[in-house]
Amino acid sequence: DAGVIQSPRHEVTEMGQEVTLRCKPISGHNSLFWYRQTMMRGLELLIYFNNNVPIDDSGMPEDRFSAKMPNASFSTLKIQPSEPRDSAVYFCASSTGTALAPYNEQFFGPGTRLTVL
Amino acid sequence: SQQGEEDPQALSIQEGENATMNCSYKTSINNLQWYRQNSGRGLVHLILIRSNEREKHSGRLRVTLDTSKKSSSLLITASRAADTASYFCAFKETSGSRLTFGEGTQLTVNP
Protein backbone atom coordinates (compact mmCIF):
# COMPACT_ATOMS: atom_id res chain seq x y z
CA ASP A 1 0.00 0.00 0.00
CA ALA A 2 1.22 3.50 -0.79
CA GLY A 3 0.12 4.89 2.56
CA VAL A 4 -1.77 8.12 3.00
CA ILE A 5 -1.22 10.39 0.03
CA GLN A 6 -1.38 14.16 0.28
CA SER A 7 -1.07 16.82 -2.38
CA PRO A 8 0.43 19.22 -2.93
CA ARG A 9 3.48 18.74 -0.71
CA HIS A 10 4.22 22.45 -0.72
CA GLU A 11 1.94 25.37 -1.42
CA VAL A 12 2.86 29.04 -1.49
CA THR A 13 0.03 31.47 -2.03
CA GLU A 14 -0.90 35.06 -1.43
CA MET A 15 -3.27 36.29 1.21
CA GLY A 16 -6.86 36.16 0.06
CA GLN A 17 -6.40 33.28 -2.33
CA GLU A 18 -8.26 30.00 -2.06
CA VAL A 19 -6.21 26.96 -1.06
CA THR A 20 -7.28 23.35 -1.49
CA LEU A 21 -5.42 20.51 0.12
CA ARG A 22 -6.08 16.92 -0.92
CA CYS A 23 -5.84 13.58 0.80
CA LYS A 24 -6.23 9.97 -0.21
CA PRO A 25 -6.50 7.69 2.83
CA ILE A 26 -5.31 4.12 3.03
CA SER A 27 -7.74 1.77 1.32
CA GLY A 28 -10.03 0.11 3.84
CA HIS A 29 -9.61 2.77 6.49
CA ASN A 30 -12.91 4.34 7.48
CA SER A 31 -11.69 7.23 9.64
CA LEU A 32 -9.92 10.26 8.24
CA PHE A 33 -8.38 13.13 10.18
CA TRP A 34 -7.06 16.56 9.26
CA TYR A 35 -4.42 18.08 11.55
CA ARG A 36 -2.50 21.33 11.56
CA GLN A 37 0.99 21.62 13.04
CA THR A 38 2.73 24.86 13.99
CA MET A 39 5.59 25.67 16.31
CA MET A 40 3.34 27.81 18.48
CA ARG A 41 0.33 25.53 18.81
CA GLY A 42 1.75 22.08 18.19
CA LEU A 43 -0.45 19.48 16.52
CA GLU A 44 -4.14 20.33 16.42
CA LEU A 45 -7.01 18.18 15.20
CA LEU A 46 -9.16 20.18 12.80
CA ILE A 47 -11.81 17.66 11.82
CA TYR A 48 -12.36 13.97 11.51
CA PHE A 49 -14.64 11.85 9.35
CA ASN A 50 -15.97 8.37 9.91
CA ASN A 51 -17.44 6.55 6.92
CA ASN A 52 -17.28 9.84 4.98
CA VAL A 53 -19.40 11.69 7.56
CA PRO A 54 -17.91 14.58 9.58
CA ILE A 55 -18.04 13.55 13.24
CA ASP A 56 -16.18 16.33 15.02
CA ASP A 57 -15.33 19.63 13.36
CA SER A 58 -14.91 21.63 16.54
CA GLY A 59 -11.25 22.12 15.78
CA MET A 60 -11.89 23.98 12.55
CA PRO A 61 -10.63 27.47 13.38
CA GLU A 62 -13.24 29.51 11.57
CA ASP A 63 -15.65 29.63 8.68
CA ARG A 64 -12.82 30.17 6.25
CA PHE A 65 -11.97 26.50 6.68
CA SER A 66 -14.10 23.74 5.20
CA ALA A 67 -13.55 20.03 4.64
CA LYS A 68 -15.32 17.46 2.53
CA MET A 69 -15.12 13.75 2.01
CA PRO A 70 -17.21 12.89 -1.05
CA ASN A 71 -16.15 9.24 -1.02
CA ALA A 72 -14.06 6.78 0.96
CA SER A 73 -10.91 7.48 -1.03
CA PHE A 74 -10.74 11.24 -1.16
CA SER A 75 -10.96 14.28 1.10
CA THR A 76 -10.26 17.97 0.71
CA LEU A 77 -9.50 20.77 3.14
CA LYS A 78 -10.21 24.20 1.74
CA ILE A 79 -9.23 27.61 3.08
CA GLN A 80 -10.99 30.57 1.54
CA PRO A 81 -9.76 33.26 1.84
CA SER A 82 -6.33 32.31 3.14
CA GLU A 83 -4.44 34.46 5.65
CA PRO A 84 -0.76 34.52 6.70
CA ARG A 85 -1.65 33.00 10.07
CA ASP A 86 -2.86 29.89 8.25
CA SER A 87 0.75 29.08 7.37
CA ALA A 88 1.46 25.65 8.83
CA VAL A 89 1.97 22.02 7.92
CA TYR A 90 -1.34 20.27 7.35
CA PHE A 91 -1.46 16.53 7.88
CA CYS A 92 -4.05 14.02 6.85
CA ALA A 93 -4.25 10.72 8.72
CA SER A 94 -6.44 7.64 8.44
CA SER A 95 -7.30 4.71 10.66
CA THR A 96 -9.80 1.97 11.23
CA GLY A 97 -12.43 2.47 13.88
CA THR A 98 -15.98 3.54 14.57
CA ALA A 99 -17.46 6.98 15.03
CA LEU A 100 -17.33 6.59 18.80
CA ALA A 101 -14.00 4.80 18.91
CA PRO A 102 -11.93 6.12 16.01
CA TYR A 103 -8.64 6.24 17.79
CA ASN A 104 -6.84 3.17 16.77
CA GLU A 105 -3.39 3.52 15.27
CA GLN A 106 -3.35 6.47 12.90
CA PHE A 107 -1.35 6.52 9.71
CA PHE A 108 -0.17 9.98 8.73
CA GLY A 109 0.53 11.37 5.31
CA PRO A 110 3.70 13.35 4.57
CA GLY A 111 1.91 16.66 5.05
CA THR A 112 1.39 19.81 3.01
CA ARG A 113 3.53 22.76 3.96
CA LEU A 114 1.41 25.86 3.38
CA THR A 115 2.88 29.33 3.25
CA VAL A 116 0.53 32.28 2.90
CA LEU A 117 2.32 35.50 2.04
CA SER B 1 -9.55 20.16 25.62
CA GLN B 2 -6.31 19.87 27.50
CA GLN B 3 -2.98 19.32 25.86
CA GLY B 4 -0.63 16.66 27.14
CA GLU B 5 2.55 17.78 28.76
CA GLU B 6 5.77 16.09 27.84
CA ASP B 7 9.15 16.32 29.40
CA PRO B 8 11.84 16.89 28.73
CA GLN B 9 11.24 19.23 25.81
CA ALA B 10 14.62 18.23 24.42
CA LEU B 11 16.99 15.35 25.17
CA SER B 12 20.47 14.78 23.82
CA ILE B 13 22.24 11.47 24.45
CA GLN B 14 25.03 9.31 23.05
CA GLU B 15 24.40 6.30 20.88
CA GLY B 16 23.91 3.21 23.01
CA GLU B 17 22.38 5.07 25.94
CA ASN B 18 18.77 4.77 26.97
CA ALA B 19 16.29 7.60 26.44
CA THR B 20 13.26 8.19 28.63
CA MET B 21 10.44 10.57 27.79
CA ASN B 22 7.45 11.34 29.96
CA CYS B 23 3.89 12.38 29.27
CA SER B 24 1.28 13.62 31.71
CA TYR B 25 -2.41 14.28 31.30
CA LYS B 26 -5.22 15.53 33.51
CA THR B 27 -8.34 13.45 33.00
CA SER B 28 -9.34 9.83 32.51
CA ILE B 29 -8.28 8.26 29.24
CA ASN B 30 -9.18 5.27 27.09
CA ASN B 31 -5.76 4.75 25.65
CA LEU B 32 -2.45 6.47 25.18
CA GLN B 33 -0.31 6.30 22.06
CA TRP B 34 3.23 7.29 21.20
CA TYR B 35 4.27 8.61 17.81
CA ARG B 36 7.59 9.54 16.24
CA GLN B 37 8.12 12.38 13.77
CA ASN B 38 11.27 12.73 11.77
CA SER B 39 12.10 16.22 10.58
CA GLY B 40 9.87 17.25 7.67
CA ARG B 41 7.84 14.05 7.76
CA GLY B 42 4.50 12.85 9.05
CA LEU B 43 4.00 11.12 12.37
CA VAL B 44 4.56 7.40 12.66
CA HIS B 45 2.68 5.34 15.23
CA LEU B 46 4.95 3.49 17.64
CA ILE B 47 2.80 1.87 20.29
CA LEU B 48 -0.64 2.01 21.92
CA ILE B 49 -1.32 1.18 25.54
CA ARG B 50 -4.84 0.83 26.88
CA SER B 51 -6.00 2.23 30.19
CA ASN B 52 -6.16 -1.24 31.75
CA GLU B 53 -2.57 -2.02 30.78
CA ARG B 54 0.49 -1.01 32.79
CA GLU B 55 3.36 -1.85 30.51
CA LYS B 56 3.94 -2.73 26.91
CA HIS B 57 7.00 -3.62 24.86
CA SER B 58 7.79 -3.37 21.20
CA GLY B 59 11.36 -4.11 20.16
CA ARG B 60 13.59 -1.55 21.87
CA LEU B 61 10.57 0.42 23.08
CA ARG B 62 9.01 0.08 26.50
CA VAL B 63 5.94 2.07 27.47
CA THR B 64 4.46 2.32 30.93
CA LEU B 65 1.17 3.80 32.01
CA ASP B 66 0.28 4.87 35.53
CA THR B 67 -3.34 5.94 35.57
CA SER B 68 -3.18 6.89 39.26
CA LYS B 69 -0.47 9.43 38.46
CA LYS B 70 -1.94 10.21 35.05
CA SER B 71 1.39 9.71 33.38
CA SER B 72 3.15 7.56 30.83
CA SER B 73 6.76 7.05 29.91
CA LEU B 74 8.48 5.91 26.75
CA LEU B 75 11.85 4.22 27.11
CA ILE B 76 14.07 3.63 24.11
CA THR B 77 16.89 1.26 24.95
CA ALA B 78 20.26 1.08 23.23
CA SER B 79 19.53 4.20 21.23
CA ARG B 80 20.79 4.69 17.68
CA ALA B 81 21.46 7.82 15.66
CA ALA B 82 18.40 6.89 13.56
CA ASP B 83 16.22 7.34 16.65
CA THR B 84 16.79 11.10 16.39
CA ALA B 85 13.28 12.55 16.02
CA SER B 86 10.47 14.22 17.91
CA TYR B 87 8.33 11.94 20.02
CA PHE B 88 4.71 12.71 20.84
CA CYS B 89 2.26 11.14 23.20
CA ALA B 90 -1.41 11.21 22.27
CA PHE B 91 -4.38 10.23 24.35
CA LYS B 92 -8.09 9.86 24.09
CA GLU B 93 -10.01 11.27 27.04
CA THR B 94 -12.94 9.12 28.13
CA SER B 95 -15.21 12.17 28.12
CA GLY B 96 -14.03 13.57 24.82
CA SER B 97 -14.18 12.59 21.21
CA ARG B 98 -10.75 13.62 20.04
CA LEU B 99 -7.17 12.49 20.30
CA THR B 100 -5.02 15.06 22.10
CA PHE B 101 -1.32 15.30 21.31
CA GLY B 102 1.41 16.34 23.69
CA GLU B 103 3.92 19.04 22.90
CA GLY B 104 6.62 16.55 21.97
CA THR B 105 10.14 15.72 23.05
CA GLN B 106 12.97 16.38 20.61
CA LEU B 107 15.45 13.52 20.95
CA THR B 108 18.94 13.80 19.51
CA VAL B 109 21.13 10.71 19.53
CA ASN B 110 24.75 11.56 18.85
CA PRO B 111 26.86 8.93 17.05
Sequence-ordered list of residues with C-beta below 8 angstroms from that of A96, at least 6 positions apart, any chain: A28, A29, A30, A31, A104
Angle at CA of residue A114, ends A109 and A115, nearest 5°: 160
Contact B42 A106 (CB under 8 A): no
Contact B31 A103 (CB under 8 A): yes
Q: Which residue of B has its CA nearest to A109?
A: B42
SS3 category, A85: helix
Q: How far apart are CA B23 and CA B70, in angstroms?
A: 8
- Residues in chain B, pLDDT under 70: 1-3, 96-97
Res A92 pLDDT > 60: yes
Q: How far apart are CA A32 and CA A23, in angstroms?
A: 9
At A22, the pLDDT band (50, 70, 90 cuts) reads very high
Res A99 pLDDT > 70: no
Contact B104 A42 (CB under 8 A): yes
At A101, the pLDDT band (50, 70, 90 cuts) reads low
Q: Is A16 left (phi over 0), alpha (psi -120 to 50) or beta?
A: left
B-interface mutation test, from A10, A32, A43, most B Cβ less than 10 A away:
A43
Res A14 pLDDT > 50: yes
Q: Which residue of A has its CA nearest to B88?
A: A43
Contact A43 B31 (CB under 8 A): no
Model pLDDT, residue B97: 65
